[in-house]
Amino acid sequence: MKKRLLVSVVDDDESVRESLPDLIREMGFNALAFNSAEAFLESGSVGRTKCLILDLKMPGMGGQALVSELKRLGIDTPVVFITANQSSAIREQLLDDGAVACLFKPFSDVELSDALLKAVCER
Check whether 68 has a pLDDT greater than 90: yes
Say how many C-beta atoms besides its own lie within 10 A of residue 29's C-beta.
17
Give the distance from CA 81 to its chain's centroid.
Answer: 6
1 assigned to some structural domain: no
Residue 33 belongs to a domain with what CATH number? Answer: 3.40.50.2300
Is residue 33 in a domain? Answer: yes
**Count of structural domains within the chain:** 1
- pLDDT tens profile 2-55: 679 999 999 999 999 999 999 999 999 999 999 999 999 999 999 999 999 999
pLDDT tens digits, 81-93: 999 988 899 999 9
In a domain, 100, yes or no: yes
Q: What is the mean pLDDT of the chain?
A: 94
pLDDT at 47: 95
* H or E element in which residue 78 lies: none
Structural domain includes residue 123: no
CA dist 35 and 85 (Å) reads: 19
Domain that holds residue 60: 6-118
